[in-house]
A = this chain, B = another copy of it.
Amino acid sequence: MPVKKPKQKQTLSEKITELLENNQDYDLKDLLNDQYPQDIAPVLENLKEEGKILCFSLLDLENAGNVLTELSSETQMMLLKTLGIEKFSGIISQIDVDDATDIIIQLPEKEKSALLKILPDPVQLAHVQELIHYPPESAGGRMSTDFLRLRSDMTIHLAFNYVRRQAAEYKAQVHYLYVVDNTNKLVGVISLRNLICAPPNDLVANHMSTDILTCKVTDDQENVAKTISKYDLIALPIVDEENTLKGIVTIDDVVDILNKETTEDIYQSSGISDKFRSDELISGKVTYAVRARLPWLLITLAGEAIAALIIASYDKTIISAPIAVSFMPLLSGLSGNVGGQTATIMVRGLVTGDIDLKNTAKHIFHELKIGILIGAICSLITGLIAWLQHDQPVLGLVVAFALICSIISAVLLGTIFPILLQCFKKDPAAASSPIITTLLDILTFTFYLVIVSMSLRYLH
């Protein structure tokens, strides 16, 4: 019962630790083999190395395989080294081809080729060797080769019996059955549900749908995820340039893809490099996190150092109007926020497809109107505050005017930057908020100090 999960998980971790400490291997084995692999893996990750190895070795072969796919690559590598390649390949042979490939693909070259040599199941080996050549983030890298093919000239009865036999034997996905011609080209698809409902003596050809959504092996995984989620599919066939059926991606993979891409986008937008793994950032080495976070900070540092130079060159203005200086953080903070909001809406809209590059002008114009309205409201309030705080109407005017200009710059920068990246086929999320806020700081301060200098005679 998921409502009880957090509690059960807590006790699971405690139970395992207790049984480990008391050397109750027999009870531990029973406990472990009675759990979902998704629940064991996180507990295992938190154990010391000996604990990990002992618990893992107590798992039945199939459970071991399922737990292995849920573990971090470091733990997988450690287990490979400890168990030996022979035992490891036996476990690998228990798991789905796509999951097996995901594990094998990240092994060091030596271990990879050693493992491929001794994989016991020749069918699995052939599939792994095919899948291993696709980039991991492509449709080909994501697809499974565990699926059933039918021929259009089969009768429903024959097809059904074939499916029954195959499904009992393999782990194949059977939500949809794919119909191919004699050169393995995809010609139709029929759901298991429609297969069982169709009259037994009819031909498959009469009940299959020929209007099939597909993706190419070379497509990006994000494309696959978008197609499956847009059209509410359970699985999507992946074909090559000749429309030969190469594999399928199922919707549970899409959930993983979406989660991963979301984390990447969220990280990028706050200036964390998207090449780093989120679990490592949270509980890995400190230097790992620093490497992920420092690059954007150094860009900010460089930008703000330029801003510092510009501000320093206005030292006479600052001495003459120190009160004006006190509003600089307000200008910078507000325009930074507006720029961040705008970039977030643009990036998210481009990712979900709500924003269409064809309507660029429309989107820029829309954001511009929002910027003018927000700028007007904020400038009015800020202007009044500046005036009343220091009893200087001119200060109010100067601050208000600088603020509306910098908010308008912020919406323009926040709109145009992501669109430009998308046009140049870069990830729009790279237009992350640190870059926008730093650029805005330079712009805003320069402009502000220029107009403060020009108004000096009216300020005190």
Query: B300 touching A345 by the CB < 8 A rule?
Result: no
Query: A307 touching B322 by the CB < 8 A rule?
Result: no
Query: B282 touching A308 by the CB < 8 A rule?
Result: no
Chain B nearest CB from A377 CB (Å) reads 7
Chain B nearest CB from A300 CB (Å) reads 5
Contacting residue for A271 out of B229, B319, B340, B366, CB 8 A:
B340
Bound CA–CA A348/B336 (angstroms): 22
Query: A215 touching B2 by the CB < 8 A rule?
Result: yes
Q: Which residue of B lies closest to A362 (CB)?
A: B283
Interface residues of A in 365-383 (CB under 8 A from B): 366, 369-370, 373-374, 377-378, 381-382
Residues of B within 8 A of A348 (CB): 263, 266-267, 278
Residues of B within 8 A of A251 (CB): 234, 251-252, 255
Bound CA–CA A164/B156 (angstroms): 14
- A133 contacts B by Cβ under 8 Å: no
Chain B nearest CB from A328 CB (Å) reads 7
Chain B nearest CB from A69 CB (Å) reads 10
Contacting residue for A282 out of B267, B349, B434, CB 8 A:
B349
Residues of B within 8 A of A315 (CB): 322-323, 326
Query: B437 touching A336 by the CB < 8 A rule?
Result: yes
Query: A3 touching B219 by the CB < 8 A rule?
Result: yes
- A426 contacts B by Cβ under 8 Å: no
Residue from the set A192, A236, A290, A308 with the largest chain B CB neighbour count within 10 Å:
A308
Residues of B within 8 A of A160 (CB): 196
Query: B363 touching A282 by the CB < 8 A rule?
Result: yes
Bound CA–CA A170/B345 (angstroms): 41
Residues of B within 8 A of A265 (CB): 266
Bound CA–CA A254/B258 (angstroms): 11
A290 with B370: in contact, given A282-B363, A341-B272 (CB under 8 Å)?
yes
- Cβ proximity bits A420-441 to B, threshold 8 Å, 1 near / 0 not: 0000000000000110011001
- Cβ proximity bits A305-345 to B, threshold 8 Å, 1 near / 0 not: 10111111001101100110111111011101110110111
- A246 contacts B by Cβ under 8 Å: no
Query: A255 touching B229 by the CB < 8 A rule?
Result: yes
Residue from the set A337, A349, A373 with the largest chain B CB neighbour count within 10 Å:
A337
- Cβ proximity bits A132-172 to B, threshold 8 Å, 1 near / 0 not: 00000000000000000000000000001001100110000
Interface residues of A in 208-259 (CB under 8 A from B): 213-216, 219, 223-224, 226-234, 236, 251-252, 254-256, 258-259
For this chain, the copies found in one complex come to: 2
A231 with B319: in contact, given A300-B337, A389-B308 (CB under 8 Å)?
no
- A270 contacts B by Cβ under 8 Å: yes
Which of A55-63, A122-130, A352-360 is the contact stretch? A352-360
Residues of B within 8 A of A307 (CB): 326, 329-330, 333
Interface residues of A in 273-291 (CB under 8 A from B): 278-279, 281-283, 286-287, 289-290
- A175 contacts B by Cβ under 8 Å: yes
Interface residues of A in 80-131 (CB under 8 A from B): none
Contacting residue for A354 out of B231, B279, B330, B386, CB 8 A:
B279
Query: A311 touching B334 by the CB < 8 A rule?
Result: no
Q: Which residue of B lies closest to A172 (CB)?
A: B193
Bound CA–CA A232/B263 (angstroms): 19
Q: Which residue of B lies closest to A310 (CB)?
A: B326
Across the A-B interface, the 5 shortest Cβ-Cβ residue pairs: A304-B330, A311-B326, A318-B322, A312-B326, A315-B322
With A289-B370, A301-B382 known, 15 other A-B pairs at CB within 8 A are: A2-B223, A229-B252, A234-B251, A234-B252, A258-B258, A266-B344, A267-B345, A286-B369, A301-B334, A305-B330, A308-B330, A311-B325, A315-B323, A318-B325, A332-B333
